Structure 1
Amino acid sequence: MAQDEPRLDEIRALLRELPGPDEAAAAAAQARQSALALPSGGLGRLGELALWLAAWQNAGPRLERPRVALFAANHGIAERADADMNETARQVQAAVGGRAAINQVAGAWDSDLRVYEMALEQPSADFTAGPALSEADCARALSYGMMAVEQGFDVMGLGAIAQGGDLSAAALCLALFGGEASDWLPEGAPSEAAAWLAAALEANRAALGDPLEVLRCFGGLETAAVVGAILACRLARTPVLLDGVPALAAAAVLHAREPALLDHCQVAQLGNDPAAERLARRLNRRPLLDLGLTDGDGFGAALAIPLLQAAVACHTGMASREG
């Protein structure tokens, strides 16, 4: 590897420097909520979300500048499944052109939407034969995701668009958490998929036990970018909404390193696949929405933003017992 190429060790060093929640801001928000003119806990999960936002925004809570970021790439494993590798480009074009479902929701709630296309014509390698990404490519994708996070946004929704993303997510979970391939494969996966995952584990056995190496060997460019964005949001004290299984599988890489690394993250939605529910339970996360959505293309995150806005409005606008 060339001297100036990025290395995963730089990310490992960063993981030791990430800030925690602002305890003073959390205490102030709790005091405000305790004084609201309603029964204790009357806001239910809305109250919990307001406190979570305050703890990770250093003040507030506030939700005036939301952003949703989508990362798009393709996986070599998708070619084994005879997937249409042009579908990712079509989804990207629809979102960029304002014609996707997410555009309608994001526009209705004034959410900033960004789509990051990552070498769609160059899928990651087929992980059944070895690592999906080189160390340099993985580190570059992590850095790319970090650079997509700008200061000044109150919440960041993260999603992914990728052919083969569901198979990659299953491989990541199997490598990180163990179990059987059937525990993590989505419904409707190809009949050969369990054998593919078994071959992938055998080909990349040296990576097991190191979450960032697992990311490199079983993830893709968009997976690494989502991990990078989660880390950058933590540094910027920007709360995160994860949308769908691919984004949550990316988050699982950090959870495997240290569960507290996801304390600034909520799950917008999972879809209705049992593997998705199993992953959420493993990460101790309960989705905000259950609408039967199937994709993790940011649509669920955009839908969850008005829920957070409602939490903030109740927390800041309601009368207190003192008047």
Structure 2
Amino acid sequence: MSDLNSLFSRQQFFAPIKDLSALRRTLQALPAGDENAASTAAAREEILTKPPGSLGRLEEIVAWLARWQGRYPPVMDDPQVCVFAGNHGVAEAGVSAYPPVVTEQMVQNFERGGAAINQLSAELGAKVTVVPLELAHPVNNFLHAPAMSEREFLGAFQSGMLAVRPGASILCPGEMGIGNTTAASAICFALLGGEPADWCGRGSGIPIGMLERKIEVVSEAVRLHENAIVDGLDALRILGGREIAAMAGSIVAARLLRVPVMLDGFICSAAALALHCSGPGGLAHCMVGHSSMEPGHRRLLAHLGLRPLLDLDLRLGEGTGAVLAALMARAALRCHLGMATFAEAGVHSGIER
């Protein structure tokens, strides 16, 4: 019953998005963070029993949590992990090592608790929220038509918004969808340019011949639709998938609900890029958990000016890198709150303050 009540409250908070123009207006008016809470965290870091700045980015993480939760001290007691799943018509173009039926099979695995994301989420203390999105009806093959109509896109986006739990201490969005690295590559090429090969990697482990086909598909799709792509939302609708749109929706909802977001790999970051290109500043509440093995991911993060916390050669997706980084965030907060100050420990700081 509590889950139903929570969903009802979210439906009240997030009125249906009428059209893309309304969504664009929302992205231009997202709330700012709480600088007082962040400053309080930074002030405590300065008097803990360590040289100033010696915990590096762990100190940055705590201030970020405080700023975007809007409180000091921040907490890490109620993390949320959301895995969004969707199927792609472009999979029929020979760009993936696996057939689309694997998406549904993996959703069942998530729901049974048998995937990597389930094990890592358990360590974080989070239950995985699985959001399958019309798996029996893949989005259009974008070699022939836009992946989604405006209505389909907004429905998927809103599904992502409604998945975010008010009061969550952090959101780790992830995805599952055969063919979705091709969609992410096309989004990045459409929005950032360069060469198609700059954005295409081997995804789930495709052979070189299939990679060459993937590059051709991305090039052809962007050439077909480039005149219709004005901003990131256009690229997301025309070249993306329901799960990528839903991840973007969850990122926006988290901002509105004061929930900091730990981004995952290439596909999740492509969803974030679409938001950035439609409303600069819309990713201020996000950190990037890791840099994946997909070659386009580092280029994308460099464009966004976001530095990943981890570099572990991951290429799984599912939100795994985000959850690993959230575990680091929990450790950072524990250190921040548990350490003694110089005064409490009776230790001379060695610095005149």
**TM-score range for the pair, normalised by the shorter chain length:** over 0.9
Q: Give the secondary structure class of the aligned counterpart of 1:306.
A: helix
Say if 2:62 and 2:74, in contact at 8 Å, map to a contact too.
yes
**Cα deviation, residue 206, structure 1:** 2.5
In the other structure, the counterpart of 2:342 is 321
Q: 2:245 aligns with which of 213, 224, 239?
A: 224
Q: 1:74 aligns with which of 87, 90, 110?
A: 87
Bigger drift between 43-52 and 278-287 goes to 278-287
In the other structure, the counterpart of 2:50 is 38
Q: Give the secondary structure class of the aligned counterpart of 1:147.
A: helix
In the other structure, the counterpart of 1:241 is 262
**Cα deviation, residue 172, structure 1:** 0.1
Q: Distance in 1 between matches of 2:67 and 2:328?
A: 18
Structure 1 residues 5 and 258: CA distance shift in structure 2, 3 A: closer
Say if 1:5 and 1:136, in contact at 8 Å, map to a contact too.
no
Q: Give the secondary structure class of the aligned counterpart of 1:122.
A: coil
**Cα deviation, residue 232, structure 1:** 0.3
1:178 aligns with 2:178: no
Q: Distance in 2 between matches of 1:150 and 1:178?
A: 36
Q: 2:59 aligns with which of 18, 32, 47?
A: 47
**Cα deviation, residue 198, structure 1:** 2.2
User: Could you report, residue by residue, the CA deviation over 1:143-184 in whole angstroms, capped at 9, with x for unpaired residues?
Assistant: 111011121110000011001100000000001101110010
Q: Distance in 2 between matches of 1:317 and 1:154?
A: 19
Q: Distance in 1 between matches of 2:263 and 2:285?
A: 11
1:21 aligns with 2:36: no
In the other structure, the counterpart of 1:11 is 23
TM-score normalised per structure 2: 0.87
Q: 1:152 aligns with which of 161, 167, 188?
A: 167
Structure 1 residues 79 and 281: CA distance shift in structure 2, 3 A: same
Which stretches in structure 1 are left out of the alignment for 5+ residues?
none
RMSD of equivalent CA atoms: 1.5
User: Could you report, residue by residue, the CA deviation over 1:261-298 in whole angstroms, capped at 9, with x for unpaired residues?
Assistant: 11111111232232222112121122222222112111
Q: Distance in 2 between matches of 1:106 and 1:195?
A: 37
**Cα deviation, residue 132, structure 1:** 0.6
1:51-130 equivalence runs, <5 A: 51-59=63-71, 60-81=73-94, 83-130=98-145
1:252-271 equivalence runs, <5 A: 252-271=273-292
**Cα deviation, residue 239, structure 1:** 0.5
Structure 1 residues 31 and 162: CA distance shift in structure 2, 3 A: same
Say if 1:111 and 1:302, in contact at 8 Å, map to a contact too.
no
- The residue identity in structure 2 corresponding to 1:66 is P
Which stretches in structure 2 are left out of the alignment for 5+ residues?
1-15, 345-353
Bigger drift between 81-90 and 122-131 goes to 81-90
**Cα deviation, residue 203, structure 1:** 1.9
**Cα deviation, residue 108, structure 1:** 2.3
Q: What percentage of aligned pairs have identical amino acids?
A: 39
**Cα deviation, residue 5, structure 1:** 8.3
Q: Which structure would you say has the larger Rg?
A: 2
Q: Distance in 1 between matches of 2:291 and 2:160?
A: 21
Q: 1:282 aligns with which of 269, 281, 303?
A: 303
Q: Give the secondary structure class of the aligned counterpart of 2:144.
A: coil
Q: Distance in 2 between matches of 1:259 and 1:185?
A: 25
Structure 1 residues 191 and 41: CA distance shift in structure 2, 3 A: same
Q: Distance in 1 between matches of 2:313 and 2:165?
A: 31
**Cα deviation, residue 248, structure 1:** 0.6
**Cα deviation, residue 109, structure 1:** 2.5
Q: Distance in 2 between matches of 1:271 and 1:198?
A: 22
Q: Distance in 2 between matches of 1:8 and 1:278?
A: 28
TM-score normalised per structure 1: 0.95
